[in-house]
Amino acid sequence: MHVPDGFINAPVSVATGVVAAGAVAVSLRGARRELGERTAPLAGLMAAFIFAVQMLNFPVGAGTSGHLLGGALAAILVGPYTGVLCVTVVLLMQGILFADGGLTALGVNITDMGVVTTVVAYGVFRLLMRVLPRRRSTVTVASFVAALVSVPAAALAFTFLYWIGGTTDIPIGDVFKAMVTVHVFIGIGEAVITAATVGAVIAVRPDLVHGARGFAAPLKLRVDGKLVDAAPAATRGTKTIGVATRSTRGLLAAGLLAALVLAGFVSYYASSSPDGLEKVATDQGIDRHVKEHASADSPLADYGVKDVDDARLSGGLAGVIGVGATVVVGGTVFWVIRRRRDEGGDTTAGHADTPLSEKV
């Protein structure tokens, strides 16, 4: 759903740029409360993973494809404020390096794909977590529904922006119907990817899932034939802490490897059909005034390496470079946020790294 230059007029593009800048500023402050020593690296990996999975367009029928937006996944795993920043980093990398999503439309894309999806998804997720039974499987179910809802919500947001600032005179009812219909189907794919990823992480490290805090039963030990709560991890010696640290590093390494494989190899087999917005734009005539991307001459434009003739190698190299650049930029951003929090003496963020078994 990357909006190119020329779809939305200058005044609305500027206005959404202001909204996006404000949202990023608020998220920078909010992320200080969400990021801890172990979750900050996870946030950088989250951005790289979203970048990789967005390269995997999946078919949704009628010559249309879709891809992960990522707002729901990021919000649930690393928190809503950090989630907005994750998607923003991805959109910056895509727009600047890969000519994907217009630069003048960057505010539109951050507002739509970063803010709307994250806020809507996390709101739905928290609501479901309040009303559904308190068990671990609830997190996966809530993740599925939240992701499913977030995609048509983003389609509605784009429709609204087009209604007030579209550069072509197209009946808004036609745009609304086409956008929502196709993105409901794309939302199903988003929901499956999100639920599967959240479920995989919560199975091995539930303490690193932001949205799952407080939803795990305390660790029990049998003492003299009776089950008692285990002592908190911090008081059980450095051996336990060391195991957790190694486990976190293992998860990060596995996640980075998965992102590199997805972007560097699996992306070659992604659907080549236009995504939902591209299909609607072509069918409805929204793209009549589309402009060439300012980074069209980038050596990585269109997710290929310039002067590399082999399509598989070109796309794979571009994907690996994109994952590497995103994890470096994202990791640096979140490291700086955490450092500034620590230097400022913010003690409210310490809960971010506390195991679930200590919060119940």
pLDDT of res. 309: 93
pLDDT of res. 223: 62
- Whole-model pTM? 0.88
Ranges of residues in the chain whose predicted pLDDT is under 70: 214-247, 344-360
* 234 closest CA partner among 339, 77, 78, 353: 353
Q: Identify the structural domains of the chain with CATH numbers, from first to last.
A: 10-354 (1.10.1760.20)
How far, in Å, CA of 20 to CA of 36, rounded?
A: 25
